[in-house]
Every structure is written in structure tokens, then in C-alpha cells.
């Protein structure tokens, strides 16, 4: 069975101006890591998730590792994931 991936180009086109403006703001400010943009994202995402805290990380691997760590899952535990990836 072939599972189609999401059409990222179509999604990007629908919000292209907003995305490009946000990227330009980051480039203009030279705030590439941490700083006000990350703080704003963390605050807004925590509100979206209806939780008290949100921590931005540098990669999906870090996010998965922190999730497993927070659940007490460690070496020797079985973790089942989806077989497809980018």
C-alpha cells in the first residue's frame, strides 16, 4: 500500500507571505536561537495545548527523547512507532 505524504508546497503557498515575513524578522534581528521569537512560540504553544509549560527544542529527535524521558521510558523498554519517516 502506498501512503501519500502531505502536500507541503500547497500548505506553504497558503501562508507564504506570513512565513516569509516571520523569517525576515528573525534574520533582521539575528536572534537565531533562543530570544524573543522562541519565548513567544513557547508561550503561545503552551496556551494552544492548554498547559502551563512548553519548551522549544532543536530537533524532532530531541523532542521524542524528552517525551520518553518524561514518561520514565528508558533503556530496554519497548517503543513502537510508525514505519514511515521523512
Per-residue pLDDT of 21-79, as tens digits, reads 999 999 999 888 888 999 999 999 999 999 999 999 989 889 989 999 999 999 999 99
Q: Looking at 1-86, list the stretches that DSSP marks H as alpha helix, in order from N- to C-terminal side.
A: 8-14, 16-29, 35-48, 60-70
Is 86's pLDDT higher than 80? no
Cα angle for residues 4, 49, 35 (degrees, 5° grid): 95
**Residue 29 contacts by C-beta under 8 Å, 6 or more apart in sequence?**
35, 36, 37
Question: Taken in order 60, 63, 67, 72, is the CA torsion positive or negative?
Answer: positive
Q: Could you tell me the pTM of the whole model?
A: 0.65
Amino acid at each position: 500500500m502506498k501512503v501519500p505524504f502531505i502536500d507541503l508546497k500547497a500548505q506553504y503557498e497558503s501562508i507564504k507571505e506570513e512565513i516569509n515575513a516571520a523569517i525576515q524578522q528573525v534574520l533582521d534581528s539575528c536572534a537565531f536561537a533562543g530570544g524573543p521569537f522562541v519565548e513567544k512560540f513557547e508561550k503561545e504553544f503552551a496556551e494552544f495545548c492548554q498547559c502551563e509549560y512548553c519548551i522549544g527544542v532543536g530537533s524532532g529527535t530531541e523532542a521524542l527523547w524528552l517525551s520518553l524521558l518524561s514518561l520514565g521510558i528508558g533503556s530496554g523498554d519497548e517503543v513502537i512507532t510508525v514505519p514511515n519517516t521523512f
